[in-house]
Amino acid sequence: MAGNRAVAYVGPGKVEVRTIDFPELVLKDGPGVNPLNVGRKCDHGVILKIVSTNICGSDQHMVRGRTTAPSGLILGHEITGEVIEVGRDVEFIKKGDLVSVPFNIACGRCRNCKEQNTHVCDNVNPDRPGSAYGYVDMGGWVGGQAEYVMVPYADFQLLKFPDKDQAMEKIRDLTMLSDIFPTGYHGALSAGVKTGSTVYIAGAGPVGLAAAHSAQLLGAAVVIVGDLNEERLAQARTFGCETIDVSKHDDIGEQIEQILGVPEVDCAVDCVGFEAHGHGPNHTEAPATVLNSIMQITRAAGRLGIPGLYVTGDPGAVNEDAKVGTLKIRFGLGWAKAHTFVTGQTPVMKYHRDLMMSILSGRAQIAKAVNATVITLDQAPAAYQDFDKGASKKFVIDPHGMIK
């Protein structure tokens, strides 16, 4: 079989397109592969020809050198593809199916999977519960920013699109089902967004924009998005969000009061994570800023959805505590206000079918909300640079030129 071109992390600030082995239904040794996973047979898996695969902000953390990712790691956990090979033990997924791949890798057999907590599967990562493709400390499953990829546990995990022609017409939207649309939706739902809610979304990157659109789908009365980047805030305004430029304002509550008449919201969503900056014109990195600010501006008994990524190992952190994920959080404030916190990876399978139906029916316009921008595989290194500079785009890699 022919080779397989893929996007590899080289070192801080650099990725490149390399030719790697064509995938097989076995997990082989390689950069980032847990030794206990080497040789793992995946007769329950499939080989996909990638139709679309997206660049994620979580990938950007690795590329900036803010994790312990090894050089040579193949990136990419947002995968949509066509099945070209089926393992011996696969019963229901067929060759030729067009499918969305949840970024969580889940066996379907452990207690957590059976309870729909597929984001913390016990059987796919020897280090700890939970796994993902092409991500540091997640077991070493090869990433999908490539031409081809192997996906295990196919019958359990894969979401098959009912009509391939219809799916290709809406592929810019459907490609978001592997991660950011369910992640944004999970953030909004975890925060308790419902009809009439007032919501603050911290961060106007792709996940923040997805959370804002999700809040609208859930019936929010007002969605306010805060960010340091005016280009991204302008994108949020294109679909009806109010915005706050936190680089110009230290006091978010004061800005919220100008919009709502009161300095608080019903619920808030952190779509920034551990590389957060402080607020105001002289802002510097301060990783607990968003967590503390959303506690401040969320009403008593409100809920906080936290899909923003926080890590246990950050070699580029601002202090020794933050290097191991220990942050200066005003937990007493959250306790006093009886806040509910929901954290962790998103269990994609809990939401992706319903969100697929919202896309196919025309109800959800997620590609428009996040400014989906299709690129070739060879354009990926430049796209990573643009994304790092704050481009208000969700880059969708089309490795085979299949997207119209």
Query: What kind and span of H or E run contains 111?
Result: helix 111-114
Class of domain 4-178+347-397: alpha beta
SS3 state of residue 296: helix
**Tens-digit pLDDT profile for residues 217-255:** 999 999 999 999 999 999 999 999 999 999 998 899 999
Give the whole-angstrom CA distance, residue 285 versus residue 42: 42
> Is residue 1 pLDDT above 60, yes or no?
no
Q: What ranges do the domains of the chain cover?
A: 4-178+347-397, 180-343
For residue 145, give Cα distances in angstroms to 37, 81, 133: 21, 11, 10
Confidence of residue 282 (pLDDT cuts 50, 70, 90): confident
Query: E strand or H helix at 133, and its extent?
Result: none
Mean pLDDT along residues 95-111: 98
Q: Please give the Cα distance from 341 to 199 (Å, whole number).
A: 15
| Region 26-42 average pLDDT | 96
Residue range 338-364: mean pLDDT, rounded: 97
Residues 6+ apart with CB under 8 A from 280: 246, 247, 248, 249, 250
State yes or no: pLDDT of 258 exceeds 70.
Answer: yes
Which residues lie below 8 Å from residue 191, measured CB to CB, with a gap of 6+?
199, 267, 268, 269, 302, 303, 304, 305, 342
Residue 2 confidence class, pLDDT cut points 50, 70, 90 = low
Question: Structure pTM?
Answer: 0.96
Range 114-118 average pLDDT: 97
H helices then E strands: how many in the chain?
Answer: 15, 17
Q: By the 8 A CB rule, do 263 and 256 touch?
A: yes
Give the tens place of pLDDT for each residue, 181-195. Answer: 999 999 999 999 999
> What is the Rg, in whole angstroms, of the alpha carbon atoms belonging to the chain?
20
CATH topology of domain 180-343: Rossmann fold (3.40.50)
